[in-house]
Amino acid sequence: MAGVAKKDVVLQVDNLKKSYGPVTIVENFSMKVHAGEAVALTGRNGAGKSTVLRCLVGADRPDEGTVTVNGTKVTETNPEIRRAVATVIDDLDFFPDLSVVEHLDLLARAHGLHEPDALVDEVLEEVQLVPQAGQLPSTLSSGQRRRLALATAFVRPRQLLVLDEPEQRLDVEGVAWLGERLKAELDGGLAIVLASHEPALLQAIGARELRLEGAR
């Protein structure tokens, strides 16, 4: 998170438009997210929250408009963007032959951390996956897989965190933990954009809410 002062604009979206065939999912969508700020996209199912998030991380290409992170235009394959943006959206996959702890170790090392053991252990403990450290992902429950997905975002350097309904499949304690963790991330200067249906979570992190109205 080094190099970004609080109040710096981390994410800027200008006039985003995305359509699927004749249906316009989102149009004229603009926003700025500063370091240390959380923005929550809310709205009913199909309102376009996930579509916007996918455009923010470059998973989908917007039909119009621009998305920049730290002034660099977002393209999914740009290593600079990949280094800055940690993402937990619905398309995360896991290596079938690597255990939970090996996934975290690999990601931390790939991001240049030389001795990641302490950080990996800390995150593993936080997401309560210590007993499952040696398990292969296909044997995890859906809630545990969700925790592993969240752990992959916390084990690496990041300036912007993009989360799609992170509370999904988490138990009550899990949602409370997530709120505390995200609050701590904000205090450390991280920018967060999330889509959520969980008012308690949004309240816990004091997120600015943007309501999307959906397809036309």
Partner 1 sequence: MRDWRRGRADRNLWQALSDGYVMVFSIVVIGAMLVSSILQAQETAAVCDTDGCVAARGLLPWASVAGVLAFTLVVSRLFGPVAASAAEGFWLMDGPTDRRRILAGRLFGAIGAAGALGAAAGALIAALTGSGPVEIGIWALAGGLGAAGLIAFAAAEQGLDRHWIVTGVQWLIGAAAIGTMVLLVSGAAGWMDLGRLTLLAVELALIIAGVGLLLVVAAGFLAYRRLRNIKRQRLTSGGSLISGLQGAAFALEFALIRDILVEAKARQRGHVRPTRGLGHGTTALVMRDVQRLWRQPLPLVTLVATIVVPYAVQALGLAMLNPPISALVLLAALVPFMNSLRVLTRTKGLQRCFPFDPGQLRTAAMIVPAVLALLWTVGAFPAFLGVAGGVATDPVSAASAALVTGVAGLLGAVRWVSAKPADYSGPIVSTGVGAMPPGLMFSLLRGIDMVALITLPIVFNWPAWISLIIALIAFSLLRSGIDRDSLMDQQAEQKRMLEEERARRSGAPAAGKQKIQVQRKR
Considering only 46, 72, 76, 122, the residue that binds partner 1 (CB under 8 A) is 76
Q: Which of residues 126-145 bind partner 1 (CB under 8 A)?
A: 133-139
The partner residues of 16 in beta bridges, in order of sequence, read: 29
Q: Decide if residue 94 touches partner 1 (CB under 8 A).
A: yes
Considering only 35, 55, 101, 182, the residue that binds partner 1 (CB under 8 A) is 101
Q: Decide if residue 216 touches partner 1 (CB under 8 A).
A: no
Q: Decide if residue 105 touches partner 1 (CB under 8 A).
A: yes
Six-digit token pair at 81?
Answer: 């963007």
Q: How far apart are CA 184 and CA 116, in angstroms?
A: 20
DSSP-based three-state secondary structure for 197: coil
> Minimum distance between the CB of residue 61 and partner 1, rounded to whole angstroms?
6
Six-digit token pair at 201?
Answer: 């979570």
Q: How far apart are CA 31 and CA 15, in angstroms?
A: 9
Which of 68, 78 has the CB closer to partner 1?
Answer: 78
Q: Decide if residue 12 touches partner 1 (CB under 8 A).
A: no
CB 31 within 8 A of CB 25: no
Q: Decide if residue 64 touches partner 1 (CB under 8 A).
A: yes
CB 124 within 8 A of CB 101: yes
* Burial class for 134, CB neighbours closer than 10 Å (0-12, 13-18, 19+): exposed
Q: Decide if residue 211 touches partner 1 (CB under 8 A).
A: yes
Residues near partner 1 (CB under 8 A) are 15, 17, 27-31, 57-59, 61, 64-65, 76-79, 82-83, 86-87, 89-99, 101-102, 105-107, 109-114, 117, 133-139, 152, 156, 202-203, 206-213
